[in-house]
């Protein structure tokens, strides 16, 4: 499946889930109160994102300038940033997930899981463009990784001279 199709279906499923949850919540507490609750969570998200600028990131910069490790403050800053972004997105599901990024012992673990997922996602196949390849496509397997060397079209002009 194409990456754009995956992104499209993920966004589509996200929208359907958010609409379903909003309709269910508005049926329980009323549409007006559900809308007020969403606006309140968006304001909280804005305040969290604003606080990031002044606390955690500045602490990390101070630690860096003093030669101390900055990992803990950067992880805290990243978790507050993610929770601020999730709070700003309209919907109860994203607000519920954003609350997990505010819990002190849980936010380190969640950022670790996200970074581990991204590391595993991007450590698969790599494609390098080279100007010195003699064949059109040469593939080499090196320790479970596939490296594909692609000959660029303008290499033929060098051969003609």
- How much is the pTM? 0.63
**DSSP per position, 49-107:** HHHHHHTHHHHHHHHHHHT---HHHHHHHHHHHHHHHHHHSSSHHHHHHHHHTTSHHHH
> What are the structure tokens assigned to 145, written together?
């990784």
> What are the structure tokens assigned to 51, written together?
């606080």
d(CA 54, CA 62): 12
CA-nearest of 142, 76, 70 to 112 is 76
Whole-number pLDDT of residue 48: 77
CA-nearest of 69, 77, 32 to 53 is 77
- Count helices and strands (H / E) in the chain: 7, 3
Whole-number pLDDT of residue 159: 47
* pLDDT tens by residue, the chain, 161 residues: 687 888 899 899 999 999 999 999 999 999 999 999 988 988 888 787 777 766 777 777 788 888 887 777 777 777 888 888 888 888 899 988 888 888 878 878 888 888 888 787 777 644 444 444 455 555 444 444 444 444 444 444 444 44
Residue written as token pair 């609750």: 37
**How many CB atoms lie under 10 A from the CB of residue 69?**
10
CA-nearest of 125, 124, 119, 47 to 88 is 47
Strand bridging mode 145-151 / 137-142: antiparallel
Whole-number pLDDT of residue 53: 62
């Amino acid at each position: 499946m194409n990456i754009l199709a995956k992104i499209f279906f993920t966004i589509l499923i996200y929208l359907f889930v958010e609409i379903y949850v909003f309709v269910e919540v508005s049926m329980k507490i009323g549409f007006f109160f559900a809308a007020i609750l969403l606006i309140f969570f968006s304001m909280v998200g804005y305040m969290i994102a604003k606080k990031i600028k002044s606390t955690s990131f500045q602490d990390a910069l101070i630690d860096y300038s003093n030669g101390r490790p900055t990992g803990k403050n950067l992880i805290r800053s990243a978790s507050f940033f993610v929770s601020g972004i999730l709070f700003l997105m309209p919907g109860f599901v994203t607000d519920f997930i954003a609350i997990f990024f505010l819990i002190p012992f849980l936010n380190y673990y969640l950022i670790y899981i996200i970074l581990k997922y991204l590391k595993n996602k991007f450590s698969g196949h790599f494609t390098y463009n080279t100007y010195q390849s003699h064949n059109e496509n040469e593939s080499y397997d090196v320790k479970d990784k596939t490296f594909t060397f692609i000959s660029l079209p303008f290499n033929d002009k060098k051969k003609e001279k």
